[in-house]
A = this chain, B = another copy of it.
Amino acid sequence: MSAIFGRKGVEAIAAVVAVRASNAKRHFPRYGPSAMSDAQSDLIAAAGGRLGPKVVVTDPADIEPWLSDWRGRVHGQARAMLAPSSTEEVVEIVRLAAEHRVPLVPQGGNTGMAAGATPPADGSALLLSLRRMNRIRSVSADNRLAIAEAGVILATLHDAAHEIGMRFPLTLGARGSCTIGGLTSTNAGGTQVLRFGTMRALVAGVEAVLPDGSIHDGLSGLKKDNRGYSLDQLLIGAEGTLGVVTAVALRLVPAIAARAVAWAGVGSPSDALALLRWLEARTSAIEGFELVPEDSLALVLNHIHGTRPPLANKQPWNVLIEATTADSAKDISAELEALLGEALKAGLIRDAVIAANEGQADAFWHLRDSISEAERAEGPTLAHDISVPVADMPDFIGAAAAQVERAFPGVIATGFGHLGDGNIHFHVRAATHASPDWYDREGAAITRMVDDLVTAAGGSISAEHGIGQLKLAEFARLAPPGRIHALRAIKQALDPLGIMNPGKLI
């Protein structure tokens, strides 16, 4: 995902969006009768009659908050928001959509980074909100599984797992509002991927309503099942284009008994990766391993109130390390401390400090989590959510940053984040005193260069955020034609009427 930060950038985007919205209004007056196609009117009437006003929401004030992506960059239109509270109601809605040829845009917490849940601007689709499907159907320590409906909020699931001594390990910044259905449909990642994987690894099964109105029920959560193509895996990351995810069986792991958080200084990204490999050969407890360039740390210390450097001396690069254990008898802090002591002797790190308590641990994480905010305070920044093979990432960061800085004099390029996943946030900061139109002048060209470099390195231009609307053009430009052909064929096969989230992903 390419994003612009900084006040001026946001203003520029807001201006573009305002123009788009006024265009949209001109051609498709928002709630006036002339905008309601007969097909939509018929569907809304039929759905209202069968499912009632709780499910069929037509008050513009209720719909308005869900028509833009959460960053406020993309704005859509929708005549109605359908809000079913059961799988059966979703079936009813999908059948009506097929009958009337009216496309649906499934939406959960609306926290996506690629505008995949924002309806088209021409008002041709209706919103399908899954937020009322918010029951946790079951949660079992024996099965190590929870079954949560699509609209369950991630933090709610965390709590439910915690209550039975278990844990759902995936977490991310939007955990208070993002939903299980959205996390599944975007194959979300987050900060604990290193040990537990993305949603693809954590989903044990999916219940979904397919475009023909049939229910795919993969919720039995079988650990072994070889009865043909995996529809579960096909629906994960499909961004709602192949069906509506209504419930998900999720793998649980034992609750954390204790964690240890350390900050270490290393000479280079390459040294950081060597340290990770060395640690992983000695313990399976490493759960977080975040790369932080000294430049990013300096910005945080400069701009974010109350932050302090963890180490006495400046280091070329830093890593934040989190180790956890489910065994309350284990002293995980002592274990990590001993390992880092050995690493220091072996010359793998230059210095390190272990958080003495939870407050210090949170402070370390706060440094890491504040990088984007500190960059915003410094000036406009272009963000890229990219991945390359893990072992190639250290070289990639150096080479790509050098090339971008050479091609666009004055910018500062750097990479930070999930080094162990081969996934970093490759940020390009405008030169000091860059003109307000920097993003418009150079943004697309910089992103194209980054995407080209990533593609040449065998990497992905969307590591964890998906394609949605925002990366559609770059995906089409860079994907092999055979892949585009295969994806379109699958889309056409399962959704021949094109009623599932049109204009997204493919």
Contacts and interface: CB of A to CB of B under 8 A. Distances in A.
A143 B212 CA distance: 42
A2 interface: no
Contacts of A505: 228
A230 B200 contact: yes
B326 A465 contact: no
Nearest to A215: B482
B485 A490 contact: no
A253 to B, nearest CB: 10
A463 B224 CA distance: 5
Chain A contact surface mostly = loop
Contacts of A234: 229-230, 233-234, 490
Interface string A217-242: 10011111111111101101110001
Nearest to A506: B228
A327 B342 CA distance: 15
Give the interface centre of A460, A461, A487 by most chain B CB atoms within 10 Å.
A460
B486 A490 contact: no
A474 to B, nearest CB: 10
A221 B392 CA distance: 11
A460 B186 contact: no
Contacts of A140: 391
Contacts of A210: 482, 486
Contacts of A489: 493-494
A343 to B, nearest CB: 15
A280 interface: yes
28 contacts: A141-B277, A142-B390, A144-B390, A193-B223, A198-B224, A201-B201, A210-B482, A216-B486, A220-B459, A223-B390, A223-B421, A224-B422, A226-B460, A226-B464, A226-B467, A227-B460, A227-B461, A228-B483, A229-B234, A230-B233, A230-B236, A233-B234, A234-B490, A254-B281, A281-B326, A490-B493, A490-B494, A492-B493
